[in-house]
């Protein structure tokens, strides 16, 4: 199934207190990603990896993360999915992923699937063959 995922960040200071002015702007996501997945949780994880995780791994490795294998988990949709927490906000049901520096709020919306036989190719082919009537 296809999903649209909107990601909203929030930053923390060293004491895990939300930095003033970093309250998620629910009207303007930091990224909107379209992914194919089997569930809402998997879609949220894949969207995080594509929008944030891969860059975060590169940054952590460049900064000399003491455990590169742990840093690499940020690029694994399976590992990210295990760390997601489902909660509710003013946007409705969302998934939250928190680390020591930031939190990501991910709103997942399923896209309507196309009805079988409604494709342009199918209509074109049916127009070419004679009617059974």
Q: Name 76's Cβ contacts closer than 8 Å, sequence gap at least 6.
A: 49, 53
> What pLDDT was estimated at residue 123?
57
Domains of the chain by residue range? 2-128
Q: How would you write the pLDDT of the chain (133 residues) with one tens digit per residue?
A: 999 999 998 876 555 455 444 456 677 888 999 999 999 999 999 999 999 999 988 888 888 888 888 888 889 999 999 999 999 988 889 999 987 778 899 999 999 877 655 555 555 555 565 555 5
> What pLDDT was estimated at residue 17?
54
> What pLDDT was estimated at residue 20?
45
In order of 11, 72, 79, 92, 117, the CA distances from 18 in angstroms are 6, 25, 25, 21, 50
DSSP secondary structure, 62-108, as one string: HTT-S-HHHHGGGG-HHHHHHH-EEEEETTEEEEEEE-SSEEEEEEE
């Amino acid at each position: 199934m296809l999903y649209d995922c909107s990601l909203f960040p929030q930053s923390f200071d060293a004491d895990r207190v939300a930095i003033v002015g970093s309250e998620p702007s629910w009207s303007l996501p930091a990224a909107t990603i379209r992914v194919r997945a089997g569930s809402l949780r998997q879609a949220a994880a894949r969207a995080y990896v594509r929008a944030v995780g891969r860059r975060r791994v590169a940054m952590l490795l460049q900064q000399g993360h003491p455990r590169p294998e742990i840093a690499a988990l940020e690029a694994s949709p399976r590992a990210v999915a295990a760390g997601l927490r489902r909660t509710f906000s003013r946007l409705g049901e969302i998934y939250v992923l928190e680390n020591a520096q930031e939190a990501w709020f991910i709103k997942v919306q399923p896209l309507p699937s196309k009805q079988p036989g409604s494709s342009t190719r199918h209509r074109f082919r049916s127009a070419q063959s004679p009617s059974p009537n």
